[in-house]
Amino acid sequence: MAFTIKVNGTTHSVDVDGDTPLLWVLRDVLGMTGTKFGCGMALCGACTVHIDGAPTRSCVTSIDSVGTSEITTIEAIGTTAAGAKIQKAWLDLEVVQCGYCQSGQIMSASALLASNPRPTDADIDGAMSGNICRCGTYIRIREAIKQAAQSSRQGG
């Protein structure tokens, strides 16, 4: 069945079963492999994308539920104000270790910063608790979100 979806500002027509997870449409049909598969059960956060700005687990989001919503992936998050600040802070603080979880981490962190420019530690923990990192980069992730929030306040 054909579905028309909007990803990173571009409209795509894809011909897949309606229950196909958005993750596999992004990776296998559209070739956007920045979004990762970890658990397939909404437990790890590796597959996080934004749907109308909300962090969403694409592994459990069927393509027929997306409709005309705006999908943003790691490939384009740097074009958003919050995403650019998060990516800069990630690089400044060398957050990444193996990298596998990190596109999902950045998508969740960007959504947090876009909706809450002054997150408290509890806000950060709440927003990031569904993103698992086997390398244990949690401390640097928290510091990077704080730095990005600080740069937002300074207009940087």
Query: Which residues sit at the interface with ligand FES, rule CB under 6 A?
Result: 37-40, 42-47, 57, 59, 96-102, 133-135, 137
**Residue closer to ligand FES (CB basis): 37 or 51:** 37
Please, which residue, 107 or 113, has the CB nearer to ligand FES? 107
Shortest gap between Cβ of 54 and ligand FES (angstroms)? 15
User: In the bound complex, what is the minimum distance in angstroms from residue 46's beta carbon to ligand FES?
Assistant: 5
In angstroms, what is the minimal distance from the CB of 126 to ligand FES? 17
Nearer to ligand FES, 46 or 111 (CB): 46
Radius of gyration of the chain (CA): 15
- Least separation in angstroms between residue 27's CB and ligand FES is 11
Of 46, 33, 23, 151, whose CA–CA distance to 90 is shortest? 151
Nearer to ligand FES, 21 or 83 (CB): 21
Handedness of CA 8, 105, 93, 100 (dihedral sign): negative
Pick from 146, 144, 22: nearest CA to 73: 22
What residue type is assigned to position 153 of the chain? R
Alpha carbons 149 and 51: distance in angstroms, whole number: 22
Identify the H or E element spanning 82.
Answer: helix 81-92
